[in-house]
Structure 1
Amino acid sequence: MNPQMLFSQYFEIDQKCLDEYGALNICLEADLPLFVDPFLLFSSPDANYQALHDKIVGHLIFLRNLAVDNPNIGLPLFQFPEIPQNWLGLCKWGNSGKGLGPKFAKNIVNAFNGFYRNFGSEEVTDSSHIEKLTLVGSGIGRDFISDFTTNLMLEFLLKYTEKFSEKYLSDKQVRTFSVRCDFDESLMIWKPKSFKLPCFYKGDRDEDFILLTPVNILTKDDAFICHSDFTNQFRYIANSLSNATLRDSVNSYFARRLPANPKKVDIEKAINETVQKYPEILDYYIKKKELEKDKASALSAEKVKRLRDELLSTLTEFCKHLFTNSNFYQTPFNCYDEALKRARFLKEVIENNDGYRIFYKNGKPIASEDTVQRIFRLTWFASPIDVNSEVNNGRGPADYKVSFGSRDSTIVEFKLGSSSSLSSNLKNQTEIYKKASKSISDIKVILCYTQAEILRVSRVLKAIKQENAENVIVIDATRKVSASKVP
């Protein structure tokens, strides 16, 4: 088995081909936590991107008109499936998301007949922005931006990928696929078109196409216009209103809704109530973001670069190391034994075979637990074992559930030694997850970047009487002194 997790590896092309074309080198085992930010289309000097933004906003206005004219309209037109073939999203394993289903459709129809009835007729901003629908509590969250945007620009992505295929891939690597991507407003249906696209084989006969996405329209975590940024800047926006009467009214209304010594939840509630009373403040916030549009691409580019440096390059190097120096991908499949052997082997590689270097970028540790979990999780990609991340069986999500059939399963929790909740997690969390998932056993893997973290973890394990437990693997990822320098 040759680890071919990245698009460039699977199709045996140089990474430089993707870089020159401007496309992201996606992972074909799990979604990368990125999405298209529609504001990057709006703020781009590229006329094609600007036209895409107009198309996306225009379709949302079309839906608003349908919803306002007929509040009881059927919901299918307001539902948008996940587009899994771009391998972008929040899935830590695989590429299957939920999409925007009936619940979303009902929420957006209600929103267009309520608070967002006037969407598309803004006078303060230069353009309408679909992100506006995520700024206050209407049941329309961040997933809407990703799924709606991808669906509306699907034809663009298909043509973009087809053009890459024509230039860099052989005839044996592509197939013709028919994809519904063209919306006919008169018939109100999505019509199919055919494209020659990279073909990805998921089994002997199971094949699917792959979509490439331009790097310069991707971002991570939050869109440039988002709820968290709006709440953080609310007071600044309110105090910056040029209309003195509106400014005084907004500030007075907001202040009256704050209790003494307000907590974060109190502030957010007061903001929400103020926006309900003075909805135009959303447009002034968006106008401020439009004036700052030059910052958008730089901020997103830095987020994407960080993810590529910390996750993709780290993952590639790590899996090559495992494949070259071990039988890691041929481990027999008893779930507990396999998970334990893999955890121990990771410990050996990191502590004694310079594997720790992979977990540092520019001399600094990769401190994000989410990033480390993704790296750890993707080292299972060639295993016949079923490994599901963040399985939630009623008591909160566990990091991983490793299973082979219904009776052979293990919960794996992967933590950083710096975690403030480490003690309670080690003592209670996996036991709760085991009961909820009916798992037979559990393994706890703890990555430590400093000697202080190692000592702290040792004290915690001793306090809960697990210092010699077989299923607790403490990995020393501290930077090592070169053997030539050891006296």
Structure 2
Amino acid sequence: MATFFSEYFGIDAETLDSYGALNISIVNDLPLFIDPFLLFNSENGEYRVLHDAMIDYLVFLRDRSAKGPVSDALLSSWYCFGEVRQNWLGFSISGNGGTGLGMDFARALHSNLHSLFSDFGEEKITEGSHLEKVCLISDGVGRDNISDFTTNLIKDYLCRYTEQFAAQHLKPSDVRRVAVEKVRFNYETETWQRATYALPWVKDDFVILTPKDILTRDENWINKSDLLGDFQQIPTAISDGELRAQVENYFYKILRKPGRRRKPSSKERSEAARRTLLEFPQLIDYYIKLKEQHGEEATDISAEKVLATEYMFIRQIAEIQHTLFRETAFYGTNGGTYEEAHARVSYLRDVIENKGGHRLFYHEGKPIQREKDLQILYRLVWFGTPSEVGTEANDGRGPVDFKISRGAHDKTLIEMKLAKNTQLERNLEKQVPIYQAASDAKNAIKVIIYFSITELRKVTKILKKLGMADNKDIVLIDARDDNKPSGSKA
């Protein structure tokens, strides 16, 4: 029933920590990704060499872009990479699969390098060049694209990093020699080449470890949200007074609509910022310069985010799993998927409400804010079932959180919701029945977690309104921190 790398290979988690690697889950992606800025800003010379190599490759792509259109075959060869699922990191709550980088990404990046960033690799304003620059304007290149691209461009390093750990700490039987595609670029032949490594083997695939000090969560340090949201700070960094005046005039000209008396909305300000950036693309470099000047914050903030992720998704999960294993029949439930799902929810509820498991949902005294985090936590705890657990299963009418199945005729759906969800009433009334029909599932269980008496009252009111107050398939879990007695008072 191993959930994490250390458990599967029978090594101490501190061994990974001393090596600097994240103790990844081998059941589900953890919500972390590599931020290329952490390579650029690192004191580790090897990381900076990796960043330089990434920029060299982007310069090659820029030069080829400047020569005009290329065939789809070359675009695919140079830009399209599969997600590196073997590192078990990313934005999916469904196992470790992902879409990778396809032709939409290839065309968007190829176009940007030629039209908007012809000086890429030769910037005069910033201290260096940055891969993230190409995602700041185009809607076709986003955070997940940058993450996948970065991981692929340093895949050779990650494989060697993992290979070294395996040689030092794993048994020979735990390792296999595997050929990994597209790890080194040959500039003479302009082709990607494979290489062979001795890597840890889990079930039917190899595994890649990642250093924690290049990981972050939520957003890259250089990101579009900050660019648009903090746009008005950028002109202050422009030393050219004439350019600064032109930028400010253009920006406020867009906002000044005839006859408008109210203040512009945040959406309108973001759109004005986007249009101004298209008119003055050099502003991108001034924004990046501001980010470079505060680079130490990126390192500190990312380290805090990784620590919080480790605490919530690794340490707390291990503790809850041990409690479930020792004190309940959670991992030995019989019956079909409906009985199993109900029993497991009941056991989990008991641990959360009565055995200190509510701590799973808190970090530094604050409850989790996102349902995706809740779903990842639930998926990690659910491990060790004879049923197939599908997350975000989509059978034609939209994704449902979990589909528990044993063959084609035994399916149960589970929706995990936070009580504060503004769409909770709509979900209870309409979405789950639609999902059931689309999945041909006879049963659906709705689990709602609340963190305050106010949230409980809200849920109770909704259930009464919908006539669901006594529905056994709606399970409320009390995760209030202030409602749990201490051991001395219990």
TM range (shorter): over 0.9
Q: In the alignment, which of 401, 404, 411 is matched to residue 403 of structure 2?
A: 401
Query: What one-letter code is carried by the residue in structure 2 that aligns with 1:44?
Result: S
1:411 alignment counterpart: 413
After TM superposition, give the deviation of residue 238 of structure 1 in Å. 2.1
Partner of 2:301: 299
CA contact 1:4–1:10 (8 Å) conserved in 2: yes
Q: How does 1:438-453 map to 2 (within 5 A)?
A: 438-453=440-455
**1:247 Cα offset (Å):** 1.0
What's the CA shift string for 1:253-285, capped at 9, x where partnerless?
A: 111212443333322221111111100000000
Q: Is the Cα contact below 8 Å between 1:157 and 1:213 reproduced in 2? A: yes
Q: Quick one: which amino acid aligns to residue 51 of structure 1?
A: V
- Whether 1:119 aligns to 2:120 is yes
> Could you tell me which residue of structure 1 aligns to residue 460 of structure 2?
458
Residues 197-276 of structure 1 mapped to structure 2, 5 A cutoff? 197-201=199-203, 207-258=204-255, 259=257, 260=260, 261-276=263-278
SS, match of residue 442 in structure 1: strand
Cα RMSD (Å) of the superposition? 1.9
- Within a 5 Å distance, the mapping from 1:1-400 to structure 2 comes to 3-73=1-71, 74-76=74-76, 77-180=78-181, 181-201=183-203, 207-258=204-255, 259=257, 260=260, 261-332=263-334, 334-400=336-402
What's the CA shift for 1:211? 0.8
Contact 1:434–1:442 under 8 Å retained in 2: yes
Deviation of residue 393 (structure 1)?
4.3
SS in 1 for 2:382: coil
Q: Give the Cα separation in 2 of the matches to 1:435 and 1:118.
A: 54
Give the distance between the partners of 1:404 and 1:271, measured in 2 at CA. 52
Contact 2:329 2:347 in 1 (8 A): no
Kindly provide the CA deviation profile for residues 30-87 of structure 1, in whole angstroms up to 9, marking residues without a partner as x: 1111111110011011111110000111111111222221313332222111111111
Q: Are residues 282 and 483 of structure 1, via their aligned partners in 2, closer, same or farther at CA, if it must alter by over 3 Å?
A: closer
State the SS of the aligned residue for 1:175: strand
1:310/1:366 contact within 8 Å kept: no
Give the counterpart letter for 1:84 in structure 2: R
- Give structure 1 stretches of 5+ with no counterpart: 202-206
Range 158-167 or range 413-422, more displaced: 413-422
Aligned to 1:480: 484
1:142, distance to aligned residue in structure 2 (A):
0.9
> Once structures 1 and 2 are overlaid, which stretch shifts more, 360-369 or 252-261?
360-369
Distance apart, 1:338 and its partner CA: 2.0
Q: Cα distance 1:276–1:366, how it changes in 2: closer, same or farther (>3 A)?
A: closer
The residue identity in structure 1 corresponding to 2:354 is N
The AA in structure 1 aligned to 2:211 is P
Task: Give the Cα–Cα distance (whole angstroms) in 2 for the partners of residues 473 and 400 of structure 1.
Answer: 15
C-alpha separation in 2, matches of 1:87 and 1:402:
22
Q: 1:348 to 1:285 in 2, by over 3 A?
A: same
Shift of 1:133: 0.9
- Closer, same or farther: CA 275–436 of 1 in aligned 2, 3 Å: farther
Percent identity, aligned pairs only, is 40
Quickly say closer, same or farther: Cα 1:118–1:71, change in 2 above 3 A.
farther
C-alpha distance after superposition, 1:309-360 (max 9, x if no partner): 1221111111121122223223236222222222122122222333334434
Structure 1 residues 275 and 395: CA distance shift in structure 2, 3 A: farther
The Cα of 1:485 is off from its aligned counterpart by 2.4
Q: Determine the C-alpha separation between the residues in 2 that align with 1:137 and 1:269.
A: 13
Alpha carbons of structure 1 residues 358 and 274: separation in structure 2 relative to 1, 3 Å:
closer
Distance 1:171 1:354, change over 3 A: same
Give the CA deviation at 1:407: 3.5
8 A contact 1:6–1:28 mirrored in 2: yes
Aligned twin of 2:424: 422
Specify the code of the residue in structure 2 equivalent to 1:145: I
Counterpart contact for 1:310–1:371, Cα < 8 Å: no
Q: Which 10-residue stretch deviates more, 189-198 or 283-292? A: 189-198
2-structure distance, mates of 1:367, 1:234: 27
1:251 positional shift: 1.1
State the distance in 1 between where 2:291 and 2:356 align.
45
Q: Hey, what does 1:204 align to over in structure 2?
A: none
Unpaired runs of 5+ in structure 2?
Answer: none
Q: Distance in 2 between matches of 1:383 and 1:188?
A: 47
CA distance in 1: counterparts of 2:275 and 2:308, whole angstroms: 37
Q: Deviations over 1:396-452 (max 9, x none)?
A: 432222233333323211112233332232222323333444433321101122233
Amino acid at match of 1:481: P
The question of whether the paired residues in 2 share the 8 Å contact of 1:125 and 1:287 is answered with yes
- The 2-side partners of 1:190 and 1:137 are apart by 26
Counterpart of 2:449, as a letter, is L
Worse-matched range after superposition: 36-45 or 425-434: 425-434
Q: 2 CA distance for matches of 1:437 and 1:243? A: 61
Distance 1:364 1:226, change over 3 A: closer
